[in-house]
Chain A
């Protein structure tokens, strides 16, 4: 049920960014909301569910963006894996790290897409435009926290029937070294599958 809800949410975000955002003035930019959801899945969802959802979103993006089939599933899964691996070692799931994490991941993905496309099609002229990219990064940074709040709220609603998010909340940190509450068994990682 939770996965289905996030699946529907991802489709809605995709529809929003392909229909409503292009109708808005250019200076607002075109924020990649689905990408924020992918980062959220990498941080909060169990590995298998998150990976399957990420793969599905990649396949959807392939249909509505670009011409190289298979580019987005691979890119999304690479970002998902990298964020997962980092999250296992560092406490980057806290609210304070959400913005830098989303920005850095987006920059990483775009660099790989640019290099990959340039290598796949050396005859084509792709221009790396810093102003466009910076505008997108800025908008992503602004959107990251409210969207994480909504996603966390939804996740908490499905998991426990109550909101899970708390600003800079150490109690719900993904830091595996955090002290567990009395009477609770310490967990290695919130994403592990029990």
Chain B
């Protein structure tokens, strides 16, 4: 009797496992094809995204406060040496430097905004991909702000990536340095075209024939082909060119213009119709 009960319990647990796996398979079949967020995904992103947004704000405030505290420390030591007279001057200097750095950053952003013909939207990064294999970020703008899947995302320095998934108030951005990202590009001087793919850290420029002359230091721009990114946005510079004996193409490494680790704010170009939508 006890043996049978034990067997029944074992059977029950296996049945549960089978059920869960079947559910997962159904889920996979229904979502993998479309690769779009379902209503439950959107709801979860809305809820957790709000939490992320709050935590990011707190972290920024703490970081700012800590930086300010450390800076104040430096100034105080300086003031000891200069018997208090230079205290105000030093503090002002730190403040002016910070203001100047801010000014330069905002000027870049403003210039970029002037250059962009399409309407744009500024967003803040509220969460980053915790995995080792993927490079995505979550931003605090979503479909209710006009963000749609496939829209290009840039910063003052250059191309950042494109919108991958959206919910009403948040969106997931696939960064250009992710191995799953590919962008049509053009070299500024030689006008050679190719495709830049992310390699996790930087970029690789692919499909450039060996008979093309490519110099190190050349600026890599978006070509406008493919319809996602407007033409002429900076992606980076050619860092290394290798011509192997075998194969048709050159191996070209591209140094990114954007420091992906230090990104805080992004600009989304609100195109009327994104490429993915047209498809």
Contacts and interface: CB of A to CB of B under 8 A. Distances in A.
Question: Is B one of A's binding partners?
Answer: yes
A119 interface: no
B32 A70 contact: yes
B55 A125 contact: no
Contacts, number: 142
Interface of A: 11, 14-23, 26, 30, 32, 34, 47-48, 51-52, 55, 59-60, 62-70, 73-74, 77, 81, 110, 113-114, 117, 121, 124-127, 129, 132-133, 136, 188, 192-193
B52 A19 contact: yes
Contact of A18 (B13, B35, B138, B200): B138
B239 to A, nearest CB: 16
B41 A19 contact: no
Nearest to B38: A69
Contacts of A136: 132
A101 to B, nearest CB: 20
- Contact residues on B (Cβ < 8 Å of other chain), bracket: 35 or more
Given A16-B55, A18-B127, A125-B197, 16 more contacts: A19-B55, A30-B132, A48-B13, A51-B20, A52-B20, A59-B44, A63-B41, A63-B172, A65-B129, A66-B136, A77-B20, A110-B132, A113-B133, A125-B179, A125-B204, A127-B199
B59 A20 contact: yes
B48 A14 contact: yes
A80 B249 CA distance: 44
Interface of B: 6, 9, 12-13, 16-17, 20-21, 23-24, 27-28, 31-32, 35-37, 40-41, 44-45, 48, 51-52, 55-56, 59, 63, 126-134, 136, 138, 164-165, 172, 174, 178-180, 197-201, 204, 261
A113 to B, nearest CB: 6
Nearest to A127: B200
B59 to A, nearest CB: 5
Given A14-B48, A124-B180, A193-B9, A23 B20 contact: no
Given A51-B17, A59-B44, A69-B31, A17 B130 contact: yes
